[in-house]
Amino acid sequence: MDLDLTEEQEMLKTMARDFLQKECPKSLVRELEESDQGYSEELWHKMAELGWMGLNLPDEYDGLGSTFMDLALLLEEMGRNILPSPFFSTVVLGAFAVMDGGTEEQKTEILPKLANGEIIMALAWLEPDGSYEPKSITTHAVASGDDYVINGTKLFVADASVADYLVAITRTKNSSSPEEGITLFLVDAKSPGVKCAIVPTIGLDKQCEVVFNDVRIPKKNMLGELDKGWSLAKRILMRGMVGKCAEMVGGAQATLDMANDYAKERVQYGKPIGSFQVIQHYLANMWIDVNTSRSITYEAAWRVSENLPCIQDVAIAKGWVNDAYNRVTERGIQVHGAIGTTRDHDMGLYYRRSKAAELAFGDTGFCEELIAQEREF
C-alpha cells in the first residue's frame, strides 16, 4: 500500500503544470473558446513532442507506455489550467477504443500517427435523447456488400468538427436486450454523407451534431466484435468518467486556490475578507470538497489503471465529484463578489466548465443508477 504519487508522477504533474501555464494562458483559452477550430495546432504539436498523445500507448506504437493513472494526473493538470483541445477525445476515448477493440492493422494504422499528433479522434456515442443507456443507441449500421451503411444522428460529439476519425457506436441488430446488437465503427470523418455542425454549449467546447446519411464504411473498420460492442463501449465510458473526474479535481483545485488568494488580498471594512468567518467557512467547505474529490478519484483511476473491477468505484467518484466541483465553483464566485461574474474573470471559465463536466459521461443521476445496478438494489 502506498497512497503517495511516485516521484516520476510528481514530476509529470509539475512539468505539465509549468508547460500549460506558459503555453496556454487564459487569454488563449478565451480566444479558442470563440474560434471555430477550438484548439491551437501549435500547442497540439508541442504536446505531441512531449509525448502526451502517446502517454499510454505501448512503445511499438510510438508511445511512452505509462499507466492510465499517469494519464489521469496529466488530465488533472489540464483541468487545473484549462486546455481547450481535442486531447480528451483523442487520447482518453479514441486511442483506448482502438487499443481495446482494434485489430493489429487498425492499431498500426492509427496509433503511431495519433502518438505523433497527426490524428484527432472523436467519440460519437450520444444521440438526441442525451442518454448513455444502451437502449438509446438507434443509429443503424446495415451490412451491404463489403461495407456497412450508417444512418442516424449523434449529438454532443466533442471535437467531431476537427476529427480525422470518429468512433461511432451503432446498432447492428435489434434484440430484446438493448446491450445486444451494438457495434463500434471507425468512421473516416471525411466520408461522404457525414455532416457535422458545432452546437453552442455552456463550455464553448465544440460539441457537435453529427448526421450520418447513408455513410458507407468498409467492414474492416469495425472496432471489436459485431453486435458485442457494448462491453467495449462500457470500458470507454469508465475511462471517460474517471478522466472527467481528474479534470474536475484540477479545476476545483484551481478555483479554490484563486478564491483563497483573493480572500487574502481583497480588503473590506479594513480587513482582508478572508478574515471573516463566513468566508473562511465557505473556503473550508471548498477545501473538503476538493480533497475528498481527489482521494476518491485517485482510487477509481488506479483501479481502472490496474484493470480491477471498477464500475462502482468510478460511479461513486463521478457522482461525488460532479456535485463537489459545482459547489466549489459556485462558492468560488461568491467569495469574489461581482467581479467573479464577468467574462474577463477566470471564475466564469471554471464555473461553466463545472457544469459541462458534470454532464459529460454521466451526470449524478446516471451514476447513482449505475451504483444501484452494481449493488443489485
List residues near another protein by CB under 8 A: 1-6, 9, 69, 260, 263-264, 271-272, 274-277, 279-281, 283-285, 287-288, 291-292, 295-296, 298-299, 302-303, 315-316, 319-320, 365, 367-369, 371-372, 375-377
| DSSP code for 342 | S
Smallest distance from the beta carbon of 203 to another protein, in angstroms?
24
CA–CA separation, 244 vs 322, rounded Å?
A: 9
What's the start-to-end Cα distance of the chain, in Å? 31
H or E, element range at 302: helix 277-305
| Closest CB to another protein among residues 28, 359 | 359
Decide whether 219 or 271 has the Cβ nearer to another protein: 271
User: Nearest CA to 31 among 204, 215, 244?
Assistant: 204
Min. distance of Cβ 346 from another protein in angstroms?
19
DSSP string, 37-87: S-S-HHHHHHHHHTT-TTTTS-GGGT-----HHHHHHHHHHHHHH---STH
Query: Which is closer to another protein, CB of 50 or CB of 287?
Result: 287
Rounded Cα distance, 317 and 305, in Å: 15
Nearer to another protein, 103 or 291 (CB): 291
In angstroms, rounded to a whole number, what is the distance separating the alpha carbons of residues 291 and 165? 37
Q: At 173, which amino acid appears?
A: K
Could you give the CA distance from residue 330 to residue 323 in angstroms, rounded to a whole number? Answer: 11
Min dist. Cβ of residue 44 to another protein (A): 29
CB of 370 to another protein, least distance (A): 8
- Give the residues across from 55 on adjacent strands: none
Q: What are the grid coordinates assigned to 63, written together?
A: 508511445
Can you say how many angstroms the Cα of residue 267 is from the centroid of all Cα atoms in its chain? 38
The separation between CA 208 and the C-alpha centre of its own chain, rounded to angstroms, equals 15
Q: Shortest distance, CB of residue 310 to another protein, whole angstroms?
A: 11
Closest contact distance (angstroms) between CB of 296 and another protein is 5
Q: Looking at beta carbons only, is 155 or 371 nearer to another protein?
A: 371
C-alpha 40 chain-centroid distance: 18
Minimum separation from the CB atom of position 371 to another protein (A): 4
Q: Among candidates 311, 343, 359, which has minimal Cα distance to 156?
A: 359
Q: Which is nearer to another protein, 195 or 271 (CB)?
A: 271
Q: Report in angstroms how near the CB of residue 127 gets to another protein at its nearest.
A: 22
Q: How far is the CB of 268 from another protein (least distance, A)?
A: 13
- Tell me the C-alpha distance between 347 and 328, whole Å: 11
State which residue, 161 or 354, has the beta carbon closest to another protein.
354
Nearer to another protein, 217 or 258 (CB): 258
Residue (173 or 281) nearer to another protein, CB: 281
Question: How many other CB atoms are found less than 10 A from the CB of residue 242?
Answer: 32
Is there a contact between 377 and 312 (Cβ–Cβ < 8 Å)?
no
Please say which residue, 308 or 338, places its beta carbon nearer to another protein.
308
Nearest to 229 by CA among 83, 347, 102: 102
Minimum Å gap between C-beta 351 and another protein is 20
Closest CA to 64 of 15, 125, 23: 15
Residue located via cell numbers 451503411: 149
